[in-house]
Structure 1
Amino acid sequence: MVIGWILCVALPYVLMWGPLAVWSPNNGQQTALVVTTVASLLANIAVFRLLTRYPGGRNAALVAPQILAIYLILSLFVLILRQEVSRYLLLASGVASFIWLHVEFMTLQRLKRIKLAAVNLGRAKDLANISSITVRFLQEPDLHGLRYDGVVADFNAIDATWERFLTKCVLNGIAVYNARNLLESLTGRVSIKKMSENDIGSLLPSKNYERLKYLFDVGFVIVSLPIVLIICLITAICIRIDSKGPILFAQTRIGRGNRPFTLYKFRSMVYSKCDDPERFADENDDRVTRVGRFIRCTRIDELPQFLNILKGEMSLIGPRPEQPSFVRQFDEVIPFYSYRHVLKPGITGWAQVRSGYAADIDETQLKIEHDFYYIKNASIALDIYIVFLTVKTVFTGFGSR
């Protein structure tokens, strides 16, 4: 962090105004020095500490959005307070942070690969499917003098001999992890096949978090409304020109507490007066119009759901609401399926950015495991991470159909 501050704040400052300006800065230089220092430190914390604890958080594609967001927010804050500030230093520091943090991130990614020893019993065996870590499976309670970042075991599958070995590891300063918790943190999923009543009880989100989230949802919708209305107007005109039928599409979905509500979207498929049976969208679905394909790929078709947020039926982030017939079908074959309705459904969510579109029972079960991870770990930090992943999803078109 110190090296980053020298390269991204001190060096641009000295290069622009010389070393004498350090001792006698004007108001604009002084404010810019404080703002860029705070921005540089926050950017470092965000890139290497804030989001890296979530699955996929160590992703180079997320470095730039975090840096850009921090510098923009702090710059806007200074402008709102009408403080004199050097825009040149803000820009130079932002560019330097962008370059330095990318170099630092890529270098550390190559050097820091987690190396674990795992007891070859129970769910610990599933670590063999995780490509982001190096795992050596232990056949006997001995590390043979090798160094590891930690030892992993399924506490429900080991005997007294392994328990004494794990105790010895802890006493020697070696971290010991529960295989189930580690798998959840690495995959971003909670296995619904291994759940018990105690697990269900732990999946209740904080009331304070829900209140804060609602205020953020409403505030975001109101602030973004001028831009959103322009996009909606252009989209409505394009839909009208491209195909016959209504501009908006209304459909019954199941929301919080298993209660039905009317969800609004821009119509992206060919209009049919007949009540077609509910079914998943297929790859290259011939029902999708030309405009529909674009707005589905960019998620513009979801913008009318801002109305659902203002009505209190949805949130910006949460489990995706399903149609009633699908809910009944999945509830019969997937354990604990309806528990995903403990939260308000969202326009985007952990399952959408991690696994994309689900079109059958197996994919839906994977999606539910992602939903349960979100419910269990719901927090402002995770929501911010999902926002960054959503931006990435919009630009890549991941999971759209």
Structure 2
Amino acid sequence: MFNKKILTYLRFLPVQLLIGLVVCTWIPYLFFDWQYSIFGIAKQTTFSVFISASLTVSTIFTLNLIRRFPGINSSLYILPVFFFWFIVIVVVSGLTYLPFSIAYYCISSLCLLSFLFIVNIINRHNTIQTLAYIPVGRAIDMPEQVPTAQWLKLDSTNLDQEVNGIVTDLHSYDLTDEWEEFIANKTLEGIPVYHHRNIRESLTGRVKINHLYENELGSLLPSGNYMMVKYCLDVLIILLLLPMTLIICVLTALAIKREDGGKVFYVQSRVGYRGKTIKVYKFRSMREQAKEVLTVDNDDRITKVGKFIRKTRVDELPQFLNVIKGELSLIGPRAEFIDFAVKLEQQVPFFNYRHIVKPGISGWAQVNQGYATGAEETQLKIEYDFYYIKHISFTLDLLIFFRTIHTTLTGFGSR
């Protein structure tokens, strides 16, 4: 019991940071200082300790933020997050021209990678949450709405087993004085109590579209500062990928031209940022005279080359030009066809709020659901989009970036 209690502390970010800095930064430094000082390597480790600590803090902090998003298997993101910060810190350190020990940095990085996998194995049993729920108001059907958790229905105020939290409708008039006293007592015991909407949102990755919901800053507007940083990062990433992108674009253009001799590019009018109409550029993946209607499975309008470039998302590479022009972002809700957007506005009164951020080439809805075709799938897509708008952040964008790579390799959601 004592050992189990100690291991549970590894779930907390401050404990992970403290142990990580000691094991992955300080201990390797002591080893180098004692073992290699006669060769002068220890003089280089002064700055190396700083960059190693930066890698440790950035990686652990980012992984903890990513774990908060729904449906995330954290073990799948250890390597992507680790290598992302490893490369970023190496590039930044190289630009400063300050001396640092490559050997120390690599040894420290290997220690960090091992530490991350050990922590993940220890905390793996916490992946599926056991939640008790008080069946009142809109919390009555929580097991049906959120099947990803293990649910314990509370018919009385007796709770005799360990749970990760308690869920109820805190706004319900059916929440009696007895239940409110129970909630207060359990809160004092350290058991978190959640409003049904918050826990549903955090476990499904969707925001119900019955009402408008403010973001974490308490505003309907996303952070203007982050939106500016986001645009700068988009342009920087495109410039870094430009040599590889140009080669792929040339090969794709030649393949399209060779197949049927038609136009290489296709221009679509779509709804953009704040409801303005934009022209979106794509590689043509259908026959030239194909009608503009939603695609379906095994659509015969799609060419052979088109099937491949749609599956790998290569058809969307020309949209990098839209990103540089400031019309699109790399990450954001998908830009809708104008006619389709008008129909959705009639069904959802505040659908226009979806345009409060720039549409993206990839997004939270795309990596979770793929392309929507029917009315039910479209509603789910909007719920995913509203979740993204409410929780927009660098960490969520980074998570979508990693999942987009997986989507591109697997062809998930392509039509």
Counterpart position of 2:236: 219
Which of residues 101, 104, 111 in structure 2 aligns to 1:86?
101
Pairwise CA RMSD = 2.7
Given that 1:319 and 1:349 are in contact with CA atoms closer than 8 Å, whether structure 2 keeps it comes out as yes
What is the CA distance between 1:308 and its match in structure 2?
A: 1.0
CA distance in 1, matches of 2:147, 2:94: 45
CA distance in 2, matches of 1:191, 1:109: 29
CA distance in 2, matches of 1:22, 1:124: 64
What is the CA distance between 1:76 and its match in structure 2?
A: 1.1
Which of residues 322, 330, 348 in structure 2 aligns to 1:308?
322
What is the CA distance between 1:335 and its match in structure 2?
A: 4.5
Read off the aligned partner of 2:324 and give its amino acid letter: L
CA distance in 1, matches of 2:299, 2:101: 53
Which of residues 183, 206, 212 in structure 2 aligns to 1:189?
206
Given that 1:330 and 1:361 are in contact with CA atoms closer than 8 Å, whether structure 2 keeps it comes out as no
With over 3 angstroms needed to count, the CA separation of the structure-2 counterparts of 1:239 and 1:12, relative to structure 1, is farther
Which of residues 398, 405, 414 in structure 2 aligns to 1:391?
405
What is the CA distance between 1:265 and its match in structure 2?
A: 0.5
Given that 1:192 and 1:335 are in contact with CA atoms closer than 8 Å, whether structure 2 keeps it comes out as no
CA distance in 1, matches of 2:213, 2:222: 16
After TM superposition, the structure 1 stretch with the greater mean CA deviation from structure 2, 258-267 or 334-343, is 334-343
After TM superposition, the structure 1 stretch with the greater mean CA deviation from structure 2, 25-34 or 228-237, is 25-34
What is the CA distance between 1:373 and its match in structure 2?
A: 0.7
Is 2:71 aligned against 1:71?
no
With over 3 angstroms needed to count, the CA separation of the structure-2 counterparts of 1:100 and 1:284, relative to structure 1, is farther
Secondary structure at the counterpart of residue 123 of structure 2: helix
Given that 1:14 and 1:21 are in contact with CA atoms closer than 8 Å, whether structure 2 keeps it comes out as no
CA distance in 2, matches of 1:322, 1:123: 32
Counterpart position of 2:375: 361
1:329-388 residue CA offsets vs partner (Å, 9 max, x unmatched): 222234432221222111111111111110111101000000111111122222222222
Which of residues 335, 338, 342 in structure 2 aligns to 1:321?
335
Read off the aligned partner of 2:273 and give its amino acid letter: R
Identity of aligned residues (%): 38
Given that 1:202 and 1:376 are in contact with CA atoms closer than 8 Å, whether structure 2 keeps it comes out as no
Counterpart position of 2:278: 261
TM-score under structure 2 normalisation? 0.85
Counterpart position of 1:45: 61
Is 2:284 aligned against 1:284?
no
CA distance in 2, matches of 1:11, 1:242: 60
CA distance in 1, matches of 2:396, 2:252: 31
Given that 2:270 and 2:277 are in contact with CA atoms closer than 8 Å, whether structure 1 keeps it comes out as yes
CA distance in 1, matches of 2:365, 2:212: 22
CA distance in 1, matches of 2:213, 2:69: 25
Is 2:223 aligned against 1:209?
no
Secondary structure at the counterpart of residue 26 of structure 1: helix
Given that 1:46 and 1:66 are in contact with CA atoms closer than 8 Å, whether structure 2 keeps it comes out as yes
CA distance in 1, matches of 2:185, 2:19: 38
1:57-109 residue CA offsets vs partner (Å, 9 max, x unmatched): 34322111000001111111121122333333433443443344234313311
With over 3 angstroms needed to count, the CA separation of the structure-2 counterparts of 1:269 and 1:91, relative to structure 1, is farther
Counterpart position of 2:113: 98
CA distance in 2, matches of 1:235, 1:36: 41
CA distance in 1, matches of 2:121, 2:147: 18
CA distance in 1, matches of 2:149, 2:36: 48
Which of residues 241, 257, 265 in structure 2 aligns to 1:240?
257
Read off the aligned partner of 1:282 and give its amino acid letter: V
Read off the aligned partner of 2:123 and give its amino acid letter: L
CA distance in 2, matches of 1:21, 1:257: 60
Counterpart position of 2:310: 296
Read off the aligned partner of 1:138 and give its amino acid letter: L
Given that 1:117 and 1:152 are in contact with CA atoms closer than 8 Å, whether structure 2 keeps it comes out as yes
TM-score under structure 1 normalisation? 0.88
Read off the aligned partner of 2:105 and give its amino acid letter: L
After TM superposition, the structure 1 stretch with the greater mean CA deviation from structure 2, 205-214 or 182-191, is 205-214
| Structure 1 unpaired stretches of 5+ | none
CA distance in 1, matches of 2:269, 2:204: 32
Is 2:42 aligned against 1:35?
no
Counterpart position of 1:371: 385
With over 3 angstroms needed to count, the CA separation of the structure-2 counterparts of 1:262 and 1:151, relative to structure 1, is same
Read off the aligned partner of 1:88 and give its amino acid letter: A
After TM superposition, the structure 1 stretch with the greater mean CA deviation from structure 2, 2-11 or 209-218, is 2-11
Is 2:181 aligned against 1:167?
no
| Structure 2 unpaired stretches of 5+ | 1-15
With over 3 angstroms needed to count, the CA separation of the structure-2 counterparts of 1:95 and 1:255, relative to structure 1, is same
CA distance in 2, matches of 1:149, 1:364: 32
Give the number of aligned pairs: 393
Read off the aligned partner of 1:391 and give its amino acid letter: I
CA distance in 2, matches of 1:59, 1:400: 25
With over 3 angstroms needed to count, the CA separation of the structure-2 counterparts of 1:169 and 1:111, relative to structure 1, is closer
CA distance in 2, matches of 1:68, 1:311: 30
With over 3 angstroms needed to count, the CA separation of the structure-2 counterparts of 1:103 and 1:269, relative to structure 1, is farther
Read off the aligned partner of 2:74 and give its amino acid letter: N
What is the CA distance between 1:45 and its match in structure 2?
A: 2.3
